[in-house]
Copies of this chain bind each other. A is one copy, B any other.
Amino acid sequence: MIALSFVNRHNFRYYRLALDFHDNYLKWLRILKITIEDVAREANVSAMTVSRALRNPEKVSTKTREKIEAVVERLGYVPDPAASALAAGRTNVIGVIVPSVTNNVFSDVMLGIYEQSEGSKWQIQLGNSRYSPLEEERLVRTFLSQKPAGLIISGLDQSETTAALLKAAKCRIVQIMECGSAPYDMMIGFSHLEASRAATHHLLEEGYRRPACISARLDPRSQRRLEGYRIACREAGIFDPRRIVTTPRPSTVTLGGELVADLLSKVPDTDAILCNNDDLALGAMFECQRRGIAIPETIGICGFNDLEMMAAANPSITSVRTHRMEMGRKSMQMMDDALSGKEPKVSNIDLGFEIMVRESTSRKKA
């Protein structure tokens, strides 16, 4: 009876079960549901003090804090995030929305994000829009309903509704992958158009006069890369629309080979191939090798993204290095800074790119 007097309603059952057997009681606690109340009772403090000890340890005396921490550890207490979110009206969730989780490009970015978030209080939640603006909209809605602290989202091409949702959102937003002029909030990326244009320039400088471009997927960034190729060719006065071969299919190594086959059947005098990504480039290389076409002498090949395998290939393949992991890391850092009150000085970062010249386009010395 005495024990029951300080027991709240929902703890009744296990107190009944283990009234005079403390160890048993602890076991029950562990299996049933441990709340902040349980911790408070064990530590002889109020629930509020426990809450404080966990969120703002500095606002609690060292002694009580240590006592509470010990009890938390002993009981294995884990705060209920739902209750926390409901009471506080916010969460420690940072939503990350990417078009693809199977694409190396995005997985590298995610790696950077994960690395940077390690040790912080932020919890990453990943969404996969699968290149669909509608799916993206659904994801944004879902994420926002969770009152996230922040949202990291890919690109500039959200649907009108999505854009409206993001503009109205009360959380911080970092757009990644591209550069642009009107970020919702913060932004970090690079210019796909300029990168592709520079790559085309490189081909021209190496002496290739009839460069082609193959592209798959045709998402907004692919399109801008295509445009970069077009511009560079026009600037050099050698643009020929027949040398552009595209497909909406997702890119694969095999597809790279097929696109090259298609290309060469239409315009056999092509002397260089700018591939919209590295998978295509690898496939293009294999196809050329199968046909006995010399790389880089007869045809030069340039990829995009500079995946790790480009340097290992034989011949090694020229590619446009994009700083994906750094992009992930910095986006997370900007987010963290913004959420910690130290507003980042620059909120719209162009990370640039680098043409990694390798054997596959080095005709000069040959």
Chain A: residues with CB nearer than 8 A to chain B?
A: 31, 78-86, 91, 101-102, 104, 107-108, 110-111, 114, 123, 125-126, 128, 130, 141-142, 144-147, 168, 252-254, 256-257, 279, 282-283, 286-287, 289-290, 308-309, 311-314
Would you list 18 pairs from A and B whose C-beta atoms are within 8 A, ordered by A residue?
Answer: A78-B141, A78-B144, A78-B145, A80-B86, A81-B145, A81-B146, A82-B83, A82-B86, A83-B86, A101-B107, A102-B107, A104-B104, A253-B308, A253-B309, A253-B312, A279-B309, A282-B312, A286-B313
Interchain CB contact under 8 A, B314 and A290 = yes
- When distances are taken between beta carbons in the complex, the residues of chain B under 8 Å from A144 are 78
Known: A102-B111, A108-B102. A286 touches B314 (CB 8 A): yes
In the complex this chain forms, how many copies of it are found? Answer: 2
Interchain CB contact under 8 A, A283 and B257 = no
Interchain CB contact under 8 A, B252 and A312 = yes
Known: A78-B145, A104-B102, A107-B107. A289 touches B309 (CB 8 A): no
Interchain CB contact under 8 A, B102 and A128 = no
Minimum distance in angstroms from A6 CB to a CB of chain B: 25
Known: A86-B86, A107-B101, A130-B114. A145 touches B312 (CB 8 A): no
What is the bound-complex CA distance between A82 and B88, given in angstroms? Answer: 11
> 10 other contacts beyond A78-B145, A110-B128, with CB at 8 A cut-off?
A31-B168, A79-B145, A80-B86, A82-B83, A82-B91, A82-B146, A123-B142, A254-B308, A282-B309, A290-B314
What is the bound-complex CA distance between A79 and B147, given in angstroms? Answer: 12
- When distances are taken between beta carbons in the complex, the residues of chain B under 8 Å from A279 are 309
What is the bound-complex CA distance between A4 and B125, given in angstroms? Answer: 40
- When distances are taken between beta carbons in the complex, the residues of chain B under 8 Å from A145 are 78-81
- When distances are taken between beta carbons in the complex, the residues of chain B under 8 Å from A283 are 309, 312
- When distances are taken between beta carbons in the complex, the residues of chain B under 8 Å from A141 are 78
- When distances are taken between beta carbons in the complex, the residues of chain B under 8 Å from A104 are 102, 104
What is the bound-complex CA distance between A7 and B237, given in angstroms? Answer: 70
Q: Which 7 A-B pairs have the closest CB atoms?
A: A82-B85, A253-B309, A102-B107, A253-B312, A286-B314, A254-B312, A82-B86
Minimum distance in angstroms from A313 CB to a CB of chain B: 6
**A257 partner, pick from B78, B125, B312, beta carbons under 8 A:** B312
